[in-house]
Amino acid sequence: MSKTGNDHPTSRSSWLVTGGAGYIGGHVMQALSETGIPAVLLDIDAISAQKKLTDLSTYENCNVKDKDSLAQVFSRHSIEGVIHLAALKSVEESQRRKDEYFQTNVIGTRNILELMIDFDIKKIIFSSTAAVYDAPPDDNVIDEDSPLKPISYYGQTKLDAEEIISDYAIKYSLSSIILRYFNVGGSFNPDLKDTSLENLIPITISKLKSNQTPEIFGDDYETPDGTAIRDYVDVRDVTEAHMRAIQYLKENTSSHILNIGTGNGYSVREIIDITQEVMGTHKTALIKGRREGDISAITADIARAKNVLDFEAKFGLYDIIQTSIN
Q: Which domains does the chain have, with CATH numbers?
A: 14-184+232-260 (3.40.50.720), 187-231+263-325 (3.90.25.10)
**Better pLDDT: 103 or 138:** 103
DSSP track, 142-158: E-TTS-B--SSHHHHHH
Torsion angles phi and psi, residue 168, rounded to 5: -65, -35
Catalytic residue check, 154: yes
What is the rounded average pLDDT for all residues in the chain?
90
Interior/surface letters 81-102, b for 16+ CB within 10 angstroms, e for the rest:
bbbbbbbbbbbebbeeeeeebb
**pLDDT tens string 156-176:** 999 999 999 999 999 999 999
Phi then psi dihedrals of residue 232, to 5 deg: -100, 125
- 265 in Cβ contact with 136 (< 8 Å): no
pLDDT digits (tens, 9 = 90+) for 195-236: 776 788 999 999 999 999 999 999 999 889 999 999 999 999
- The pLDDT tens digits of the residues spanning 56-76 come to 668 899 999 999 999 999 999
CA distance 55 to 128: 28
Q: 3 pLDDT exceeds 70?
A: no
Of 59, 101, 153, 154, the catalytic one is: 154
pLDDT in the model for residue 11: 43
